[in-house]
Amino acid sequence: MRRFILSAIGLCASVSLGTSVDTYIATEGPIAKAGMLANIGPDGSKSSGAYPGVVIASPSTTDPDYLYTWVRDSSLVFKALIDQYTSGEDTTLRSLIDEFVTAESNIQQVTNPSGTVSTGGLGEPKFMINETAFTGAWGRPQRDGPALRSTAIITYANWLLANNNASYVTETLWPIIKLDLDYVMNNWNQSTFDLWEEIDSSSFFTTAVQHRALREGSALATAIGQTSVVSGYDTQAANVLCFLQSYWNPTSSYITANTGGGRSGIDANTVLASIHTFDVDAGCDAVTFQPCSDVALSNLKVYADSFRSIYSINNGLTGDEAVATGRYPEDVYQGGNPWYLTTFAVAEQLYDALTGWANQGSIAVTETSLAFFQQFNSTIVTGTYPSSSTTYTSLVTAIKAFADGFIVTDATYTPSNGGLAEQFSKTNGTPVSAVDLTWSYASAVTVFARRAGQNPASWGAANLIVPSVCEPYSGPTVAVTFNVNATTVYGENIYLTGSVSALTDWSTTTALLMSSADYPIWSITVDLPADTGIQYKYIRIYNGDVTWESDPNNSITTPSGGSEILNDTWR
C-alpha cells in the first residue's frame, strides 16, 4: 500500500493510506467549504465588489485575472451547495441559493457580445462581478453554461416541489430554467468553445450536460404542468443522446473530448462529464457513460495514464498507483501543470463506480474495460463477478485504494493553509496560477461527499435507449446574405467558410463559392441557425492555393427571424 508524508496538515510520520485520506478530509473539508463561500458575493471574505449570489472564479487579478463570474463555474459551485441544502446537510444555505437565482436571472438578461437574451446571449461564458457584460475578446459562445445552470436550479426546484412550494417554482424558477432549456434545445448541435475555452467544435462535456438538462427539464415541466415544451425537450434529448455516442473512439478505447483542435482528444473534459452526469439509479449504463460503465472506465485509464510520463512529480509511480492529472496531455497553459480539480475528478469517478457496483451487486468486466481491471488483477478475465465472490471483494478494495491515492496526490501538494489554487507545478508540486479557485474547492467538496457515500439525486438516466435513427436537429433558420468587396485576378475566386456546418465548419475544401455577378462584390445567401453566434471568414482560392483574409474572425449573432444582409470588405 502506498504510504506518504501528509505534510499539508502537519503529520510527522507516514500513515496508512485510508487513515491519511480520512485525516486530510477532516481538515480540508471545512476549508474547501469555507473557500467556496468566501468567493460568493456580497459577504464572502474574498469577493469584494461581487453582487449578491455572484460567484467569483478566483480573487486573482493578475496572471491570471479571474475576477469575473463564469456561468459554468458558478453553476457547478451552486449545484454542490444546492445538493448540500436539499439533502439536509446544510440547512443554512437557502438565502444564498435564492441570491444565486436572482443573480443568474439578472445575468440572463444582460446584452453581451454573444447577443441578447433572445439572440444568443445565453451562450456568453463570463460576466463582470457586478452583473454587467464582459466585452473583451474571448472564446464565445460556450454552450455548457445554460445546461449546467438549469440543472442546478432544477435540483432546487424539485426539492421545493417536494416541500410544498410550487408557486416559487412556477413563478420564479421556471422562467429562468425555460430560457436556458430552450437555448439548449435550439443550439445543442451548433459548435461551441469547450470548457477550457480553447477549441471551437463539439465538446463531449457540453453534449453530456445538455442531454442531462433536457431530460431533467422535461420531467420538471411535466410536474408543473408546462406540457407544451415537453415534446420538444424529449425529441431533442433523444437526438443529443444519439450524438453523444459519436464521441466514443473504439479503436483507441477512449472518449474523444472534442471534434476539433488538432489534439488527441484525451481530456479531463470526459471524466468531468461522467461525474457531473452521474445518476445513482442508472447503474453502469454505457449509453450515458456512467462512471462504472466499461467505456467510462476504459477512458479513465487512458486519460490518467497519459500524464504518467509528462509530469516530473509522477516519476517512479507504477501503473497501479495514482498520479497527478491535468486538463489534457498537450496543455501548455500556465506551463501545462496538474490541476487539483482534475485529479479530484478521477477519484470521484472511481467512488461513483464503487457505488454503482455496490447497488447492482456485481462487477462486469468486458473486453472494453479489461485493461482497466488488469491494473488491479493481472489475471482477470471477462465476466461478471458477484459481490459474494473473492474477486469482487479484492477489486473493490484495490480500486478504493486507487481512488484514495488521487486524493493523496492532491493532499500532498496542498499547502499548509489548505488553500487550493488552480494548478500545482508539474516539477515540484508548488501551487501555481490562480489562487483560491472556487471550482477547486467545489471539486474537493463533491469528491469528499462521494467517498462518504453521499450521492446527488437521480436525474432520469436509467433505461434510456438510443434511437435507431439519429435525426440531427435543424432548428429555426434565417437567410443571411454575405457581400464582400474583393478585387481578384482572372481565375481567382472568393469563398466563404465559418464555425457552423452550414458554413462548412471552417473547411477550405468544401467552402462556399460566392457569386461574382456584381463584381467586385462577391455574394452568397446561406440559411443559418437562428439566434446563434457565428464566426466566419472569406478566403481566396487561386490555382489551388488558399489565402485567408486577416484576423480576427468576423462574427455575427443571427436574428431570431427574418433575414439579414452583411456588407464586408476583404481584409
Is 236 within a domain? yes
Residue 507 CA to residue 395 CA, distance in Å, equals: 48
Q: Determine the structural domain holding residue 158 and report its residue range.
A: 50-249
Q: What is the pLDDT of residue 374?
A: 97
Detail the DSSP E strand segments found in 122-179: 126-127
The domain boundary, picked from 423, 444, 465, lies at 465
In which residue ranges of the chain is pLDDT below 70? 1-19, 472-476
Residue 499 CA to residue 344 CA, distance in Å, equals: 34
Residue 118 is which amino acid?
Answer: S
Question: Is residue 527 located within the same domain as residue 386?
Answer: no
Domain count, the chain: 3
Is 262 within a domain? no
Question: Is residue 12 located within the same domain as residue 58?
Answer: no
CATH number reported for the structural domain that contains residue 555 in this entry? 2.60.40.10
Residue 41 CA to residue 24 CA, distance in Å, equals: 28
Question: Is residue 372 located within the same domain as residue 413?
Answer: yes
Is 77 within a domain? yes
Concerning whether 197 is annotated as a catalytic residue, the answer is yes
Question: Is residue 178 located within the same domain as residue 97?
Answer: yes
In the set 22, 90, 197, 564, the catalytic residue is 197
CATH number reported for the structural domain that contains residue 451 in this entry? 1.50.10.10
What is the longest distance spanned by two Cα atoms in the chain?
81
Burial code of 361-400, b = ≥16 C-beta within 10 A, e = fewer? ebbbbbebbbebbbbbeeebeeeebeeeeebbeebbeebb
pLDDT digits (tens, 9 = 90+) for 252-266: 999 999 987 888 999
pLDDT digits (tens, 9 = 90+) for 365-389: 999 999 999 999 999 999 999 999 9
Concerning whether 98 is annotated as a catalytic residue, the answer is no
Question: Is residue 542 located within the same domain as residue 453?
Answer: no
- Residue 270 burial class via C-beta count within 10 angstroms: exposed 0-12, middle 13-18, buried 19 and up: buried
Question: Is residue 75 located within the same domain as residue 6?
Answer: no
Question: Is residue 12 located within the same domain as residue 158?
Answer: no
Residue 69 CA to residue 73 CA, distance in Å, equals: 8
Taking the model in full, what pTM does it have?
0.82
Question: Is residue 551 located within the same domain as residue 455?
Answer: no
Question: Is residue 425 located within the same domain as residue 529?
Answer: no
Is 24 within a domain? yes
pLDDT digits (tens, 9 = 90+) for 140-170: 999 999 999 999 999 999 999 999 999 999 9
The residue count for the chain: 571
Helix (H) or strand (E) holding 98: helix 94-108
Question: Is residue 389 located within the same domain as residue 444?
Answer: yes
Write a three-state SS string for 137-193.
CCCCCCCHHHHHHHHHHHHHHHHHHHCCCHHHHHHHHHHHHHHHHHHHHHHCCCCEE
Is 470 within a domain? no
Would you say 25 and 446 are in contact if contact means Cβ atoms under 8 Å apart? no
Is 59 within a domain? yes
Is 359 within a domain? yes
3-state secondary structure of 400: helix
Q: What is the pLDDT of residue 261?
A: 80
Within 8 A by CB and 6+ apart from 164, the residues are none
In the set 28, 73, 194, 294, the catalytic residue is 194
Is 270 within a domain? no
- Which set of grid coordinates corresponds to residue 149? 445552470
Q: What is the pLDDT of residue 478?
A: 85
Within 8 A by CB and 6+ apart from 433, the residues are 60, 64, 334, 337, 421, 422, 423
Question: Is residue 206 located within the same domain as residue 235?
Answer: yes
Question: Is residue 345 located within the same domain as residue 370?
Answer: yes
Q: Nearest CA to 230 among 215, 251, 247?
A: 215
